[in-house]
Structure 1
Amino acid sequence: MNRLLLLSTLVFLTWSCQQNKGNANRVIFAGEIVNPTSDQVVLFKGEQALDTAVLDEDNRFSFSLDSVVEGLHHFVHRPESQYIYLEKGDSLQIRLNTSDFDESLVFSGQGEEINNFILEMFLSREEEEEMVQSFYQLEPSDFQVKIDSLRDSKLDLFEQIQTEFNLSPKASDLAKAFIVYSSNISMEAYPFYHRRRSGEGIMHELPKTFYDYRKNVNYNNGDYIYLRPYYNFMKYHMGNLAFNHCKQHCPDDLDKASRQLHFNQHKLHLIDSLITQKELRDNLFRSVAIDYLLKHENEENTVKFIESFKKFSENNAHNEEIYTLYQGILKMQPSKALPSFKVYSFEDKELELSEIKSGQTVVFYFWSGSEPGHFRNIMKRVSELKTEYPNHRFVGLNMKTDKANWKNMVKTSGLDPSEQFWTEDYDETVHTLIVYNPNKAIIAKDGKIVDAFAHIFRSF
């Protein structure tokens, strides 16, 4: 196998050199996908799809771009995606197996060093998550020592890569940003997780130097917008700043602050005052809007929030999505009729969601054939709820699964076919029924909404 991979890489490198001959700016990105879950690969720069490559009969694909905007990109083989860093003249090949997408991915060719390093940092962050969670119970100084140690070990590894290979300044900055902002996320999250882990009623007092890293935060780096650690840090950071502002100036109780209107209005104001880079502003404003709207504090405050959002982000690139969600949420308030939405029975009968009733309270829950772990957890929970609430009817709505596979899962799992329905269009299901949380449930009676934003594990 190693010989075959080596031969494949040599053939690819020879071919890519020929492709790049006469054009030093051309970028080649090619590879092979084992066990493909789609027939194509899409290359993105930010939210813009640059090109699409269709897999051939050997599950191989290839992109040839005359030039690129140097920097971070990502490629998508649905439903998965991963980073790829591209510079002029790069000739990169990948091989991956979708059954272990990120862990099996390897880059080879011109540009492999920075890409394999970023991938390694991405995987190490995932592997460390459980360990970092255990650190949150520590006192602030001890926690900081642990996080600094993790960060410094990665920076040491980066220095070795930097010494061994000639990374461009832009690539070097991005790699360091991945490490530093991953560390900063943990620092921003600490006071909230520590309070939860320790059971302390108030936020722990922090050393004066705890947030010293904030002095070096770049609030407007356009190269980092789609770097997950940077973007996630910004979200944590804005929430942290808003919380501390509320703690000093707002009379309201800050329990469950993220659900409160004034807290989210403060976040909008902070983004407006600190962020000038439009794409980053738009994305952060979108994040606050989607998060708040889905928590549906109440209809009056939802309207007030949208008024504040319009004030701060009138020309947001995501306005259509946000206002569609807003209108959908208004239609899903208690006592309103279930929205017009078609589902299909096990016998292929098409019917409206509101027709699924029997004089009982109906609880609609959601599952997908592509998420077996979630499917098992959901079905176990529904079985418990059926015992606790014998007068409720529990109805499963399947998403993101082809009909034949759905029917097979209903049969082999011993589910009652009369209580299972199939939804045809995933996007329509998400937008009409506001299914942004896989554990969402809709409680209804006689075709009218009781609670359209229930949680199958928490609301009963």
Structure 2
Amino acid sequence: MDKYLPLAFIFLLVGCNTPKKNTDSVFFAGEIVNPTDEYVVLYKGGDVLDSAKLDVNNRFTFHLNSIEDGLYHFNHAPEFQYIYLEKGDSLLVRLNTLYFDESLVFSGTNEEINNFLLENFLAYEDEEKEILANYYELEADDFSHKIDALRKNKLRALDDIKLEFGLSERAYEIAEASIDYTYYRYKEIYPFKHRRKLREDKLHDLSKDFYAYRKNIDYNNKHLIYLRPYYDFMKSHFGNLSYVNCSESCGKNNGIIANQLHFNQHKLKIIDSLVVEKELRDNLFRNVAINYLLKEHNAPDSNKIFIDEFQKVSGNNMHIQEIVTLYQGIRNIQPKNPIPHLKVTSMEGKDISLPEIAKGKNVVFYFWSAANKTHYDNIFKRVAELKKTKPNFEFVGINIRTEADDWEAIVNSMNTEPSTQFRSDDFKKLTETLVLYPLNKCIIAKDTLIVDAFSNIYDNIL
């Protein structure tokens, strides 16, 4: 893509490259080519700091009076990316949404740390493919040697930047952590990837030095909570610890956890014992709860036990409403329950409820969105196949997150009956009520009663 800035924008760039002034205020601006939304939203952790509307030239500006030095992220729906800011910064970003991460360029104060974090993020994507393809089959010592070498190369590059441009202590800490926890995570998941690669029955014994880095883990660093490598490491780390601590009491079958309730109870206890920082605790507990409930959606008795224990250790979790809503949603769509009374809109513009659609019929409800053409192309192809093998079922499509005109155009371009296509405007309610994870799910109903609300359109349904 053309990365040269328009002349008017160069004046901004020049201003951004001037030395820092003795001020606490921050200037953050940018230009977005091919915008996908009207706004850019700036976050600190999970909190919205400010939003800026794009002007007629697709540019935005933030003026912040005072901030805490550290990691932020900005969102231009549906994409987001990190940004490191310090008091006195003047920073500019330019991007093209067609190649969002690949096109990002930072200029101005602290451009070095921001471009370094971005370049590493892109490098890790390619590197991870190589590690997955060729590293996990290695024996533990060889794997460790290669991973440590990759980590040291990245740290040397970071030290070169610090030497040439100077970095604050906080900036260096975050960049170093992004490197360390990326490679630490590879080691956490190595035993499981290795077993799967070689199709072995059990995990290998590892040398006492394999996890030597664990003595340096900071479980309560508030500055790293929303750093993706740190958070991803924590998820893998607690999964690994839980697996080992669970031992035989979890009911393992050839090294695979059979008792998910017991295993996830271990996770809750270990997180509770090691993590004090509330926001990180809340996020990790949420991750355990969401994954468990979605995986064990057909075990209502076990889910009740899990939720009770979850609330003991994290009853004041900032995500508690989301988790309870998911739990209740799963309970409500168990087999033999009535299909929820949700309204959708037909191609004729009439509102109709799901029970009305399913009354007196065998129905498979499936879901799609215009946001992903490959996904909906494949969905419609799969439905066409199923119609031939399941002629006693009616296949009903429910569209989400699509403007009405776009929805109608897509339906009319597909080889499908418009009378079986509906649309919902209330994505949040539909998602919470029908538990739409993943989007490949389908719901099978017979005469308004649920048969299976967690089937997959690509499975051998019924």
TM bracket, shorter-chain basis: over 0.9
Are residue 133 (structure 1) and residue 137 (structure 2) matched? Answer: no
CA distance in 2, matches of 1:442, 1:19: 59
The Cα of 1:251 is off from its aligned counterpart by 4.4
The answer to whether the 8 Å contact 1:54/1:61 transfers is: yes
Q: Per the alignment, do residues 367 and 3 of structure 1 end up closer, same or farther by CA in structure 2, a change over 3 Å counting?
A: closer
Q: Secondary structure at the match of 2:148?
A: helix
The worse-fitting range, judged by mean Cα deviation, of 25-34 and 190-199 is: 190-199
Q: Which residue of 2 aligns with 1:363?
A: 364
The answer to whether the 8 Å contact 1:247/1:254 transfers is: no
Q: Deviations over 1:64-87 (max 9, x none)?
A: 001111100000111111101100
Amino acid at match of 1:136: Y
The answer to whether the 8 Å contact 1:40/1:54 transfers is: yes
The Cα of 1:146 is off from its aligned counterpart by 2.7
CA distance in 1, matches of 2:20, 2:388: 66
CA distance in 2, matches of 1:7, 1:429: 47
Are residue 143 (structure 1) and residue 165 (structure 2) matched? Answer: no
Q: Which residue of 1 aligns with 2:353?
A: 352
Q: Deviations over 1:95-129 (max 9, x none)?
A: 11111111111111111111000011111111223
The Cα of 1:139 is off from its aligned counterpart by 2.4
Give 1:25-424 correspondences, 5 Å limit. Answer: 25-134=24-133, 135-251=135-251, 253=253, 257=257, 260-295=260-295, 296-357=297-358, 359-424=360-425
Q: Per the alignment, do residues 362 and 256 of structure 1 end up closer, same or farther by CA in structure 2, a change over 3 Å counting?
A: farther
The answer to whether the 8 Å contact 2:117/2:175 transfers is: yes
The answer to whether the 8 Å contact 1:44/1:74 transfers is: yes
Q: Which residue of 2 aligns with 1:439?
A: 440
The answer to whether the 8 Å contact 2:346/2:419 transfers is: yes
CA distance in 2, matches of 1:39, 1:52: 10
The worse-fitting range, judged by mean Cα deviation, of 224-233 and 157-166 is: 157-166
Q: Secondary structure at the match of 2:91?
A: strand
The Cα of 1:6 is off from its aligned counterpart by 7.5
Amino acid at match of 1:74: H
CA distance in 2, matches of 1:384, 1:146: 46
The Cα of 1:137 is off from its aligned counterpart by 2.5
Q: Secondary structure at the match of 1:224?
A: coil
Unaligned runs of 5+ in 1: none
The answer to whether the 8 Å contact 2:335/2:450 transfers is: yes
CA distance in 1, matches of 2:389, 2:407: 27
CA distance in 2, matches of 1:385, 1:191: 39
The worse-fitting range, judged by mean Cα deviation, of 286-295 and 353-362 is: 353-362
The answer to whether the 8 Å contact 1:258/1:292 transfers is: no
Task: Return the TM-score normalized by structure 2.
Answer: 0.94
Amino acid at match of 2:46: E
Q: Per the alignment, do residues 186 and 378 of structure 1 end up closer, same or farther by CA in structure 2, a change over 3 Å counting?
A: farther
Q: Secondary structure at the match of 2:388?
A: helix
Residue correspondences, number: 459
CA distance in 2, matches of 1:127, 1:195: 23
Q: Secondary structure at the match of 1:85?
A: strand
Amino acid at match of 1:324: T
The Cα of 1:399 is off from its aligned counterpart by 1.2
The Cα of 1:202 is off from its aligned counterpart by 1.6
Q: Secondary structure at the match of 1:44?
A: strand
The answer to whether the 8 Å contact 1:40/1:53 transfers is: yes
Amino acid at match of 1:455: N
The answer to whether the 8 Å contact 2:250/2:259 transfers is: no
Amino acid at match of 2:300: E
CA distance in 2, matches of 1:3, 1:211: 43
